[in-house]
């Protein structure tokens, strides 16, 4: 959460808003025990300057909130499928609109989980109770499962599926 450019390795020691560890954050911290020298800023949602979608795609684009991921799960049907040779999950709304999310794992401590048939996507929402985590969306093809999680390590590399405000 807050990284705007990809890295080869994601760890707590090279996370952009860490002072070197998983419990010394310098931004997006709601509890002093997780902030560097007791730091808190009570930010709960990514600011545009820290949003990979906004930084890389431009004004109007952003990372979805956790509530938008919940809406996708509750208002759409989904099926696991392959499109153009890529495994993923197809969500279809009642009006027929659809979105395909490809398998995209996570990268943490130099290891990738993309081979595990998982789709891991950031939300722009912090886990305020445990600010070492952010909230995100995950599907696992082998388990026929899609769900919301509040324990995405902020120091790991997850995918972003940008959304755009209506123009």
Integer CA distances (angstroms), 114 to 39, 123, 159, in order? 34, 19, 11
Q: What is the mean pLDDT of residues 84-95?
A: 94
Total Cβ atoms within 10 A of residue 56 = 13
The pLDDT tens digits for 16-32 are: 999 887 789 999 999 99
Q: What are the extents of the domains in the chain? A: 32-164
Give 60-106 as a DSSP string: TEEPPPHHHHHHHHHHEEEEEEEETTEEEEEEEETTS-EEEEE-B--
In angstroms, the CA 20 to CA 133 distance is 16
pLDDT one-digit tens code per residue, 120-140: 999 999 999 999 999 999 998
pLDDT in tens, 140-149: 888 888 999 9
Residue pLDDT, tens place only, 33-53: 999 999 999 999 999 999 999
Q: Is 149 helix (H, G, I), strand (E, B) or coil?
A: strand
Q: What is the pLDDT of residue 30?
A: 95
Q: What's the predicted TM-score (pTM) here?
A: 0.88
Residues 134 and 64 sit within 8 Å (Cβ to Cβ): no
Q: Residue 3: is its pLDDT beyond 70? A: yes
Report the pLDDT value the prediction gives residue 42, as an integer from 0 to 100: 95
Q: Are 68 and 53 in contact (CB under 8 A)?
A: no
**pLDDT reported for residue 118:** 82
Using pLDDT thresholds of 50, 70 and 90, give the confidence band for residue 90. very high
In tens, the pLDDT along 100-112 reads 999 887 776 655 5
pLDDT reading at 116 higher than 80: no
What does the pLDDT read at residue 52?
95
In the predicted structure, residue 113 carries a pLDDT above the cut 60: no
Query: How far, in Å, are 47, 86, 150 from residue 72 at the CA level?
Result: 23, 21, 16
Taking the C-alpha atoms of residue 141 and residue 118, their distance in angstroms, rounded to an integer, is 6
In order of 96, 125, 140, 146, the CA distances from 75 in angstroms are: 12, 20, 19, 13
């Amino acid at each position: 959460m807050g990284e705007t450019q990809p890295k080869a390795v994601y760890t707590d020691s090279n996370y952009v808003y860490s002072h070197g560890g998983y419990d010394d954050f310098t931004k997006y911290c709601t509890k002093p025990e997780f902030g560097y020298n007791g730091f808190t800023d009570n930010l709960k949602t990514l600011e545009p300057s820290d949003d990979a979608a906004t930084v890389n795609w431009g004004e109007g684009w952003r990372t979805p909130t956790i509530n938008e991921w919940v809406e996708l799960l509750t208002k759409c049907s989904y099926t696991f499928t392959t499109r153009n040779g890529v495994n993923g999950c197809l969500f279809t709304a009642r009006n027929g609109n659809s979105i395909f999310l490809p398998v995209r794992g996570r990268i943490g401590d130099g290891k990738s989980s993309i081979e595990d048939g998982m789709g891991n996507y950031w939300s722009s929402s912090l886990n305020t109770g445990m600010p070492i985590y952010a909230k995100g969306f995950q599907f696992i093809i082998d388990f026929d499962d899609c769900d919301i999680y509040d324990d995405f390590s902020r120091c790991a590399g997850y995918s972003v599926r940008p959304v755009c405000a209506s123009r």
